[in-house]
Amino acid sequence: MLCNPLHAPYHMASTVLVILLLVPIISNTVISSIALNQREALLKWKASLDNQSQKVLSSWGDSKGNDPCHWVGLACDEAGSITNISLAGSNLTGTLHGFNSLAFPGLRELNFRNNTLFGPVPSHVFNLSKLVVLDLSFNEFSGNISSGIGGLSSLSKLDLSGNNLAGQIPPEIGRLSSLSQLFLSTNSLTGRIPPEIGRLNGFIPQEVGRMRSLNQLDCASNFFSGPIPASIGNLSQLTHLTLYICLGGSLQFLAANRNHLTGRLTRLENLLLNDNKLVGNIPQEMGELSNMEHLSLAANSLMGVIPGNLGKCFRACRKAALPGTGLVVAVKKLCAPDDDQPFHLEAFESEIRALVDIRHRNIVKFYGFCTSKEHSFLVLEFVERGSLRNVLRNPEEAEKLDWDKRLNIIKGLASALSYMHHDCQSSIIHRDISSNNVLLDLEYEAHVSDFGIARILKPDSSFSTSFAGTFGYTAPELAYTRQVTEKCDVYSFGVVTMEVIMGRHPGDLVLSILTPNNHGQLMLQLLKDVIDPHLQLERKSQVLMEQVVSTLKIVVACLHPEPQLRPTMLQVYNALTNGRPSHLSKPFSSISLGDLLEASLSLA
C-alpha cells in the first residue's frame, strides 16, 4: 500500500517530536548516573572519617538530601555535576584514602584548608585535569609530593602549606602552565627548588629571611618587581645570591647601604658586571681577588689600562690554538716572581718535574713549556668542560651527572692517584686535590690537573713542609705535623668524592666523621637528605643504592682521622672497580651517617 503524500508532513513531525522527547530522558539518565556515582563516593569518604566529622557532614545523605548539590560545602553546575568541594575549617579528621576523586571529573575547586586531615595526598587527586584551585593547607598531610601533580593541567592555585610534607619539590610542578599562586611554606621539604618553576612575578616575599640555613638563593630570569626584601640580611649562611635584577638594562641606581659589609671581598669568585653603563677605570684592587675565577666587564664604557696585577697568579690559564696544527691547548702563565715571592718559580719547576714523565688517561697531558725573563708558560691539554667544581655548581650541568657518570669520575680520580702513588718511578704526592683541580672532558672523564705544589717522594718516605693546599680538602694532620705522605691525597680524595655524591662541598659532615662524638646531631642525618637531589635515588634500583652506600663506606675509610688507618689509593681503586656492592641491612631511606660510620669498610 502506497503512503498518502498528504500525510507525510504529519508523519515527519511525529518522528521529530518523539526524538525531542527522548533527548531529555537520555540526558536525565546520564546526569542521574553521574550524580549517583558522586553521591556514593562522598558517602563512602564520609564514613571513613571520625564520628565528630560525620556529625559535621550530617546533611550528607539525610532523608531530605538525596541530591548532593544541596549538601553543605558542595556546589554543582547546571547539569548537576559537582564542581566545588569547599570544606575549609570544618574540623574534619581523617584521610583522603577513601576519597574517590575519579568520581568528580568536572571538579574545579577542592578546598580542605584548616582541618586535621592526615596521611599522604593520594596520587589520584592529581588526575583532576579541570581543577583550578587545590587548597590542602594547614592539615597534617605527610609523605612526598607526587610527581603526578603535573597532571593538574588547569590549576591556577596550589596551596600545600602548613603540613608535614617531606622530600623534594617535584619538577613536574613546572608543567602547570596556568599556575599563578604556589604556597609550599611550613613543611619539611628538602633539596633544591627545581629550575622548572619559572615565570615568577610580584614581590620576593619577606618570609625568605626565615630560611636560616639557606646557602644559595637564585631568583634569576623571572619577573619579580618591588624591593629586595631586607630579611635577606638574616640569611647568615648565604654564600650565593643571584637575582639578575636588571634584565631590562634600565638599572640606574643600585644601593647596598645599611648592611654589615666590612673589609674587602677577598673571597669573591664570580663578578659579572657586563652589559651596564659603567665608566672610569678598572680599580687596581680587583687584582687582589686571588679566588677570582670569572670576571666579566664586557659591554660597558670603561677606559684606561687593565690593572697589571689582574690575573697575576699561578692559576691564570687561557685557551689557545697552536698554529698549523689545529690543536687546542691550555696555556698556563706564570709572571716573573718578585723578590718576596720565591714560591711561584718553585711551583713552576715542581709542576714540570711532575708532568714530564706522566702518561695516564686521567691526568692532563703535558705538551711543553717556555720561559723568558718576564714570563713562563706551561702548555697543557685543554679539557673541555672545565673544573668538576663548576660543573657541580651549574644546575643544568649537574642534572646531566647521573650516578654512572659520577662513579666514573670517582674511579678516574682514584686511578690517577693510584698511578701517581704506586706506578711512577718515584711516588708523586699531589697535595692539592680538590674539585677545582679535577677537570672533566666532553665524556665526563676526570683529569687531574695543577701539580703546582706536587712533591716527588722516594718510596716509604715523608717530609716536613710549609702548609699548602686548598682549605677544606687538606688532611688535618698537615695543620700540626706538617708530615706529607700519600695518605694526605687519600684524605683529599675522600672529600672530593663526598662532594661528587652530595653535589656540594661536605663542610661540617667531614668534621662529624672525624669526630663523631662531638657531632651527634649530624650523625643522625639520613643519607637520602644529603645526597645530591639531582640523582633522584628514591626512583632508582636497589643495586644502584647499594653502589652508592658501598662507595660512601670507602669514602669514610679515606677520611679516617689517623693517616695510617686510611687505605692506600691502590686499595681504594681496587675496591671501587672489583668490589661487590654490599647488601643493605636496612632500607636506604632510613640509613643515617652514623650507620655508615659504623659499617665503613676496613680497607687499610
Give the residue numbers marked as catalytic. 432
Q: From CA 201, how far away is CA 225, in angstroms rounded?
A: 7
Burial class from Cβ neighbours inside 10 Å (0-12, 13-18, 19+) for residue 586 reads: exposed
Are 396 and 530 a contacting pair, CB within 8 Å? no
Strands 446-448 and 116-119, sheet pairing: unpaired
Please provide the DSSP assignment of 207-272 as one string.
GGGG-TT--EEE--SSEE-SPPPGGGGG-TT--EEE--TTTTS--------SS---S--TT--EEE
| Torsions phi, psi for 331 (to 5 deg) | -110, 120
For residue 49, give the H/E element and its range: none
Task: List the one residue out of 267, 210, 216 whose CA is nearest residue 242.
Answer: 216
- Taking CA atoms, 72 is separated from 36, 57, 60, 115, in Å, by 17, 7, 7, 16
Q: From CA 573, how far away is CA 593, in angstroms rounded?
A: 23
| Torsions phi, psi for 407 (to 5 deg) | -65, -35
Three cell numbers written together for 513: 666523621
Q: From CA 374, how far away is CA 552, in angstroms rounded?
A: 47
Task: List the one residue out of 429, 551, 446, 445 whose CA is nearest residue 492.
Answer: 429
Q: From CA 502, how far away is CA 508, in angstroms rounded?
A: 13
- Alpha helix (H) residue ranges in 463-588: 486-502, 508-514, 520-523, 527-530, 542-558, 569-578
Q: From CA 202, how far away is CA 365, in angstroms rounded?
A: 51
Three-state SS for 560-587 is: CCCHHHCCCHHHHHHHHHHCCCCCCCCC
Largest CA distance in the chain: 127
- Taking CA atoms, 332 is separated from 344, 348, 373, in Å, by 13, 10, 16
Task: Return the residue matching grid coordinates 666587564.
Answer: 297
Three cell numbers written together for 386: 672545565
The 3-state DSSP class for residue 119 equals strand
Are 320 and 331 a contacting pair, CB within 8 Å? yes
